Copies of this chain bind each other. A is one copy, B any other.
Amino acid sequence: MRTRDPRKESALREKAMAMVVKDGFDGLSMQKLAKAAKVSPATIYIYWKDRDDLILQLYADAFRKMSEQTLQDFDSTASFKEGLRVQWKNRARYCMENPIESHFMEQVKFSPLHDRAQAGIDSEFMRTMKAFVKGAIARGELVKVPVEVYWSVAFAPLYQLVKFHKHGRGMPGSGPFSLDDKTLNTTLELVLKALKP
C-alpha cells in the first residue's frame, strides 16, 4: 500500500489559505490550487471530499490552533485583569506569528460559510471563556453585563487593531500603522477601565 506524502497535503493547505487571503473565496479555484501546490487536481479530492470540505477543515484546524494558543498559560484562578491580559497577549501573538492563517479565519468568519464552519466545532474554548467571564462577575471584578456586551467591549477593539496592523495602515487617509506592545497595552488598559465595576 502506497503511503501519503505529507508534503503534498501541507503544500495544499498553505497555498489554499494564501489564495483565499490574497484573492478572497472567488480566488480559490481547485485547478489553480493544484497548480500552485504542484499536484494534480484529482489529488485534492483524495484529501478532501470537495471544495467546501477543504475550506471547512482548514478553518477547524486553524480555530483549534488559535484556541490553544490564546489560552496558553491562562490561569483560570487568576484575577480578571491578569486573565484578560494573558488572552490579549496570546491572541495578538498568534495573529502576528500566523498572519495568513488568522487572516484566512477572518475571511471565513465574514463569509456565508461561517455558520457551517462554526457548527462543526466543539468549543471547549468558548466554554472556558464564558466560565472566565461568569467567575469574574461573581467575584465582583467585572461589570455585570450580558456576555455579548462583554465580548464586544473586551475583544472587538483587539481585532480592529490587528486588522489595522494587517492592512499596514490605520484609518483611511492616515499614514502607516504597526501594532506594537505599547499600543496594545494602551488599548488594553482602556478596555480594562471600561469593564471595571
B-contacting residues, A131-161, CB 8 Å: 143, 145-149, 151-153, 155-161
Is the CB of A74 closer than 8 A to any CB of chain B? no
Interface size on A, residues (CB 8 A): 49
Copies of this chain in the oligomer? 2
Give the dominant DSSP class at A's interface.
Answer: helix
Contact, CB under 8 Å: B164 / A148: yes
Contact, CB under 8 Å: B126 / A186: no
Q: Which stretch of A39-47, A87-95, A167-175 is in the interface?
A: A167-175
Contact, CB under 8 Å: B152 / A157: yes
B-contacting residues, A7-27, CB 8 Å: 22-27
A111 to chain B: which residues have CB within 8 Å? 24
Contact, CB under 8 Å: A171 / B148: yes
Contact, CB under 8 Å: B194 / A118: no
Q: Which 9 A-B pairs rank lowest in CB-CB distance, beginning with the nearest?
A: A194-B194, A156-B156, A156-B160, A152-B160, A152-B157, A148-B170, A110-B110, A190-B194, A156-B157
